[in-house]
Structure 1
Amino acid sequence: MAEELDESLVRSAQAGDMAAFAALVERHRAALRATAIALLGYTDDAEDAVQDALLTALQRLPELREPSAVVPWLKAAVRNNCRQQLRARKAVPVADPGLLLPPVTSPGEERLEQAATADWIRRGLDGLSAPIREVMMLRYFSGVTQYRQIAALCGISPDTVASRLRDGRRALAQQLRQTAEASFDEAGARAEAWHRESAQIVGSMLDGSFGTVVEDWYHPHALVDVMGLIHGDRSLLLDMLDWTFSADVGVRLHHTMASKDVLLWEADFVNPPSDPEHCPPTMVALFSLEQGRVARMGISYGTHHPG
């Protein structure tokens, strides 16, 4: 009967019923915590390992092909997190923290961006402070998952990334438990509006009017940080855009996420045949907004599609 109930809850959660996912978590939270304690002892790290596993599982729940096996699946995620923490204690370089569960193997499977779950998490993120929201959005909802990358985009140290993620996991878990049965039409509509506006901004930049876009959308003293290595103001961004678009490079925006005053873009560069290596293949941009205008922009480049 227990497995049948778990299977029913998983199928309901996969169909978008977040109250079912919350019920599933509460059924097995004690067992998952015991799994973490067995490896890490009675420490805060054990609770962090459980919360991290649950957030990752929430994103990858559509990939679970055997709902009746959800408990071993969750425990495996917890054990993976614990092993990463144990390696970190021994000062061994930690693998990409995004690799907590088996990767997607079917081309038809995509990262979770389905309305019910995404809106539930967006509403939970809205209740967190902006600095914590930034690292949480990058860690769980973008291709930027390594602490060093997140640190560069946010202009903070890797240790600060770790502490903000720890605080964010706990706060978000509490938010999700409190809002599991709520309706989030407003959050979904706001996300769609931000995506449309982001696409319009990118389109305006591509048609040659990026100077006006930057002047209108960025605060006069907005800070621009590139990979944690190059720092400047709006003029730096204008120079970068001019260098990019004058070479006939295209930009394809493929993912956005917004939470109050934090906006995340992921995009691909489309280099011309005459200069196929003009720009790196991918870009992630993290925007901190004040009254709807950009106060800070962090930029990171990648060599492959983050999805």
Structure 2
Amino acid sequence: MVSTPESDADLVRAAQSGDPTALGLLVSRHQAGMQAVALSLLGYGPDAEDVVQDAVLVALSRIGELRDPSAVGPWLRAVVRNGARMRLRRSRTVPVADLEALALPAADPTPEDLLEGRSMRDWVWHAMGQLSEPVRLVTMLRYFSDVSSYDQIAALCGIPVGTVRSRLSQARSKLATALHETASLAHDDAAALTAARRREAEEALVTAGRGEFSDFVREHWTPDAQFVAPDGQVAGGREFAVRAMDRDLSAGVRQRITNVAASGDVMIWEADLISPPDDPTHCPPGAVWLHTLREGRTARMRLFHPRPALAAA
């Protein structure tokens, strides 16, 4: 007996329920039409390829918004058309489109909100793991943290803005391919990893408050770990990190973890910094702890302040 291919509507409903394989099948089924739209507006070349790749990522994040499952083909082609038209309108000096440019109004959910379906989310993070560490880092910062502007990413990573743009372009291209190629594979539980890393971040602050941050650092940092100051210079190792934390605590500064993103050998902690009541401008309002891991332990940690301290009245 010859099996009947699943309809577009069946595949859309499966994708909306969190089945990444269904979305991969939909993209494969309609890719020729998507490419035709891109070529008709942009001609042959990398721009046409880019907008199709962007459309795949937009479809990943917005498939849940499609109200008529049977209309997925026209919807995918419309996403490509909108992306191509936006690219035509863009300044030649900004050659890289991104998910936000193609996709969502400011009031829409964050990328993590959009990717909340468990299997779909695991699929995305598995594909992210196929990217090289430098490319994955800028992608995580751009789409999964508040350090999302090109200037901030460049400052935190110590690279030119042009390199940020180039790496994000690589990420879009490679991620679109990886998403398609890894849809049917078994994936690690991304939620479990993120939850474990968040517990680790919160444990760090709790132990620091008890005066035991040195114990935490010895357990979770490698012996030769480097602490990189906000100016990008290596300030010291584990002992320096402990002294810096103790100094802030003695000054009355407290931290509260607001977000954690983790993938392979990269981990990002975002925290509010709370200045003492009698010195409200003591420190900047927030901090990012960027960890580079080796065998699960921090080998390099860079501290970054996305926003400057408030000016004294």
Match of 1:195 in 2: 198
Q: Specify which of 115, 120, 123 is matched with residue 118 of structure 2.
A: 115
Q: Is the 8 A contact 1:288 1:297 kept in 2?
A: yes
Q: Is the 8 A contact 2:17 2:117 kept in 1?
A: no
1:131-280 residue pairs with structure 2 within 5 A? 131-219=134-222, 222-225=225-228, 232-234=235-237, 237-238=241-242, 240-242=244-246, 244-280=248-284
Give the Å deviation of 1:186: 5.0
User: Are 2:300 and 1:296 aligned?
Assistant: yes
Q: Can you give the 5+ residue segments of structure 2 that lack an aligned partner in the other structure?
A: 1-5, 308-313
One-letter amino acid matched to 1:11: R
In structure 2, do the counterparts of structure 1 residues 134 and 94 end up closer, same or farther at CA, with 3 Å as the change threshold?
closer
Match of 2:67 in 1: 66
* 3-state SS of paired residue (2:18): coil
Q: Is the 8 A contact 2:152 2:306 kept in 1?
A: no
Question: Deviations along 1:97-119, whole A, 9 cap, x unmatched?
Answer: 63432336478993433321221
* 3-state SS of paired residue (2:104): coil
1:91-130 residue pairs with structure 2 within 5 A? 91=93, 98-103=100-105, 105=107, 110-130=113-133
In structure 2, do the counterparts of structure 1 residues 218 and 80 end up closer, same or farther at CA, with 3 Å as the change threshold?
farther
Give the Å deviation of 1:258: 2.0
Distance 2:143 2:89 in 1: 21
Q: Which moved more, 1:261-270 or 1:224-233?
A: 224-233
Q: Specify which of 281, 284, 288 is matched with residue 284 of structure 1.
A: 288
Distance 1:240 1:181 in 2: 46
Distance 1:12 1:102 in 2: 23
Q: Percent identity?
A: 43
Question: Scaled by the length of structure 1, what TM-score is found?
Answer: 0.77
Give the Å deviation of 1:89: 5.0
One-letter amino acid matched to 2:57: L
In structure 2, do the counterparts of structure 1 residues 186 and 66 end up closer, same or farther at CA, with 3 Å as the change threshold?
closer
In structure 2, do the counterparts of structure 1 residues 91 and 221 end up closer, same or farther at CA, with 3 Å as the change threshold?
same
Give the Å deviation of 1:16: 1.0
Q: Is the 8 A contact 1:147 1:161 kept in 2?
A: yes
Q: Is the 8 A contact 1:96 1:146 kept in 2?
A: no
One-letter amino acid matched to 1:90: R
In structure 2, do the counterparts of structure 1 residues 20 and 231 end up closer, same or farther at CA, with 3 Å as the change threshold?
same
RMSD across aligned positions (CA): 3.7
Distance 2:223 2:285 in 1: 29
* 3-state SS of paired residue (1:289): strand
* 3-state SS of paired residue (2:113): coil
Match of 1:47 in 2: 49
Q: Can you give the 5+ residue segments of structure 1 that lack an aligned partner in the other structure?
A: none
Q: Which moved more, 1:151-160 or 1:188-197?
A: 188-197
* 3-state SS of paired residue (1:254): strand
Distance 1:42 1:88 in 2: 18
Structure of larger gyration radius: 2
Question: Scaled by the length of structure 2, what TM-score is found?
Answer: 0.76
Distance 1:55 1:270 in 2: 37
In structure 2, do the counterparts of structure 1 residues 270 and 164 end up closer, same or farther at CA, with 3 Å as the change threshold?
same
Q: Is the 8 A contact 1:149 1:300 kept in 2?
A: no
What is the number of equivalent residue pairs in this alignment? 300
- More RCO (CA 8 Å, sep 6+): 1
Distance 2:46 2:108 in 1: 36
Give the Å deviation of 1:284: 3.3
Q: Is the 8 A contact 2:222 2:298 kept in 1?
A: yes
In structure 2, do the counterparts of structure 1 residues 186 and 101 end up closer, same or farther at CA, with 3 Å as the change threshold?
closer
Match of 1:16 in 2: 18
Question: Deviations along 1:75-113, whole A, 9 cap, x unmatched?
Answer: 555455445655665326989863432336478993433
